Structure 1
Amino acid sequence: MSVITVSRQFGSLGKEIAEKFAESLGYKFLDKAILESQYDKYGIPDVSFEKYDEKNPGFIEYFKSGKDRYLRYLKTVVFENSKEGDCVICGRGAHLMLQGIPGVLKVRIIASEEIRAARIAEQLECDMKNAERIINQYDKNRSGFHKFFFEQDWRDPEYYDIILNTDDLSIDSCVDTLLTMNKCECLQSDPQILKRKIEDKFIAQEVIISLMYEHSIPIDILDVTSVDGAVTIKGTVTVEQNIDQCVKAAMEVPGVKSVDPEIYFITNYMGY
């Protein structure tokens, strides 16, 4: 059981490599279309999140609640799909969501701007100038997406286990390299530990969604963690009864075994 994330520059052949890698392993391949098709189970239409689709949202969007809502549901879908393992996730910031979890191989595929532009020019039958404009816009959007939602620079090599440059490497050679790397003992993990850690992340997101969007409980500075189903909720409320409401709502989430509410009651006259 393993999980692989593939981050890629536009025109680097990253998606093609991820798809063939998944096929070679017999793993599920998960990309934007597949992940976002699952939003409807939460009653969220795709169109409501279209403006956040690996784009660089505007300044005003930063202050809108839709940002947090989008990220919560995106994380939930990624965790739900990855907790059973044996999957390759292409894009969506999955490499950042799954940081620190043993058994997750984090891959980045790059290529020089010149090579990427040449590929796009051939694919779209356009001149090099337009091809360069297109890849620059995609690079800007994807960089903005990661900054906006994760406050991280997706180009930072510390977030990846391996970076492959496809200027000279073929799709097949990259897949062969990744197949070998996926077998490395240093990247192996107890399948049960991997599953449990991702399940805990999934449970925490489900609790957050329950509190914020299903029950609409007013709670500030919300943070939820889960360890083997033992959930801790941190935050502040201005109505004391909301603490019990949070506990009750959290206990209704599948997989939650206990709830420790580290929630503080802040009265209005305390200056908040």
Structure 2
Amino acid sequence: MSKSIHKIINEQIQRWEMGNREDKPIQETVNVITISRESGSRGYEVAKQLCRETGFDLFHHEIVDAMVETSKSSRVLLETLDEKGMNIVDDIVSNFVSEHHLWSDEYSKLLFKILGTIGKHGNAVILGRGANCVLKKQKALRVRIVAPMIIRRDYIQKSLNLSKDDTQKHIVSTDANRSAFVKRYFNSDATDPANYDLILNTGTLSVEKAVQVIKCAIS
């Protein structure tokens, strides 16, 4: 785990702990957004721009996985919640595992708890890692970013400087790995529209317009 990721996690813990010391009003609006995306659909750009405009914190797969690893040796991340909050997260995990008939291992249990903890704290954009599955009953907006294959190929080829063949392999492999992850840990279909509240096509919408649509949806 890189020092930068360690620093990000430590800073996040400090923000959560400071937030728990303050009297915060009950928030009626959505303050957690999960973003699932097809490879090359510019979902990461949408997530970053959304965080810049809302002030939310961005949690992508590297940060979430690092939080899981941190929690294997320390409960400090989970303990940023009060007792009631921790009970709610435990309920999210147990209910999800029961409803989806999952046999959860150490990684999946911690993953569920980390996603639940992020969701409970709020003011977050969670990119990938099946967060839309875990937080579907929370006050969260579940978004999926898609785009036509020809546009995704062009974007990946230019951004990664790949050949046409390697670009196609990259897209197929990335999408397959993401779908397999969601199927394994959540027993869910990452491509099923019913798993999302909002599906945006960046083949017709710019990143800026996609962000504006999401902001309207949570206001």
Report the TM-score, using the length of structure 2 for normalisation. 0.70
Query: Which residue pairs with 1:31 in the alignment?
Result: 60
Whole-angstrom CA distance in 2 between matches of 1:98 and 1:81? 10
Q: Which amino acid aligns with 2:149?
A: E
Report whether the alignment pairs 1:163 with 2:163. no
Contact 1:6 1:91 in 2 (8 A): yes
Of residues 95, 102, 105 in structure 2, which corresponds to 1:68? 105
Residue pairs, 1:255-266, within 5 angstroms:
none
More helix by share: 2
Whole-angstrom CA distance in 2 between matches of 1:33 and 1:109? 19
How far does residue 100 in structure 1 lie from its aligned partner after superposition? Answer: 2.1
Residue pairs, 1:39-54, within 5 angstroms:
39-43=69-73
Q: Which amino acid aligns with 2:192?
A: D
Q: Which amino acid aligns with 2:168?
A: E
Aligned pair count reads 161
Query: Which residue pairs with 1:244 in the alignment?
Result: none
Per-residue deviation, residues 203-249 of structure 1 (Å, max 9, x unmatched)? xxxxxxxxxxxxxxxxxxxxxxxxxxxxxxxxxxxxxxxxxxxxxxx
How far does residue 41 in structure 1 lie from its aligned partner after superposition? Answer: 3.6
Whole-angstrom CA distance in 1 between matches of 2:39 and 2:73? 31
Query: Which residue pairs with 2:189 in the alignment?
Result: 153
More strand by share: 1
Whole-angstrom CA distance in 1 between matches of 2:144 and 2:52? 18
How far does residue 127 in structure 1 lie from its aligned partner after superposition? Answer: 2.0
Q: Secondary structure at the match of 1:152?
A: coil
- Over aligned residue pairs, what C-alpha RMSD do you find? 1.6
Higher RCO (CA < 8 A, seq sep 6+): 2
Q: Secondary structure at the match of 2:121?
A: coil
Residue pairs, 1:102-251, within 5 angstroms:
103-183=139-219
Contact 1:113 1:132 in 2 (8 A): no
Q: Which amino acid aligns with 2:174?
A: Y
Of residues 111, 118, 135 in structure 2, which corresponds to 1:98? 135
Q: Secondary structure at the match of 1:83?
A: helix
Gaps of 5+ in 2: 1-26, 75-102
Q: Which amino acid aligns with 2:40?
A: G
Q: Secondary structure at the match of 1:175?
A: helix
Query: Which residue pairs with 1:89 in the alignment?
Result: 126
Whichever of the two has the greater Rg, that structure is 1
Whole-angstrom CA distance in 2 between matches of 1:145 and 1:33? 14
Report the TM-score, using the length of structure 1 for normalisation. 0.57
Q: Secondary structure at the match of 2:172?
A: helix
Query: Which residue pairs with 1:55 in the alignment?
Result: none
Q: Which amino acid aligns with 1:118?
A: D
Whole-angstrom CA distance in 2 between matches of 1:168 and 1:178? 15
Whole-angstrom CA distance in 1 between matches of 2:63 and 2:143? 20
Q: Which amino acid aligns with 1:25?
A: T
Whole-angstrom CA distance in 1 between matches of 2:177 and 2:123? 29
Q: Which amino acid aligns with 1:26?
A: G
How far does residue 21 in structure 1 lie from its aligned partner after superposition? Answer: 0.7
Whole-angstrom CA distance in 2 between matches of 1:137 and 1:145? 12
Whole-angstrom CA distance in 2 between matches of 1:42 and 1:126? 37
Deviating runs (4+, > 6 A) in structure 1?
none
Whole-angstrom CA distance in 2 between matches of 1:123 and 1:177? 25
